[in-house]
Amino acid sequence: MIRTLAAAAAIAALALGSAAVADTVKLSTTTSLLGDILDNPAARAAFTKIFPDIAANPALEQGRGMTLADIAGYVPDQITPEKLKELQAEFDKIEE
């Protein structure tokens, strides 16, 4: 019984530690999934500011499992390296 409780406590501690790490993950235009960006209100606002036309596109939700770098391959004229730098600067402000 004590071993079971100890094991459960250890698993819970690991789970809580993982959640804390997940909360501190830095937003990135190259590695963050679009879904994570859209689910974060501050990140979504930054995305909408830099990419208003894309943010208004009803098909946006289809890209939730992709990074912006992935999506840029489909619309390179809209998601340019310069715009991604602007968005990353906005993300960096969120992190402070």
What CA–CA distances, in Å, run from 47 to 5, 58, 60, 73?
Answer: 45, 15, 12, 17
Please classify residue 42 by burial: count the beta carbons closer than 10 Å to its beta carbon, then call 0-12 exposed, 13-18 middle and 19+ buried. Answer: middle
Under the banding of pLDDT at 50, 70 and 90, the label for residue 96 is low
Residue 63 resides in a domain: yes
pLDDT of 67-87, one tens digit each? 999 999 999 999 999 999 999
The answer to whether residue 6 scores a pLDDT higher than 90 is no
Residue 1 resides in a domain: no
Count structural domains, the chain.
Answer: 1
Residue 33 resides in a domain: yes
Residue 55 lies in domain: 25-95
Give the distance between the most distant pair of CA atoms in the chain: 62
pLDDT of 11-65, one tens digit each? 444 444 444 444 566 999 999 999 999 999 999 999 999 999 999 999 999 999 9
- Compute the distance between CA of residue 67 and CA of residue 35 in angstroms, rounded to an integer: 9
Please classify residue 36 by burial: count the beta carbons closer than 10 Å to its beta carbon, then call 0-12 exposed, 13-18 middle and 19+ buried. Answer: middle
What's the pLDDT at 41? Answer: 96
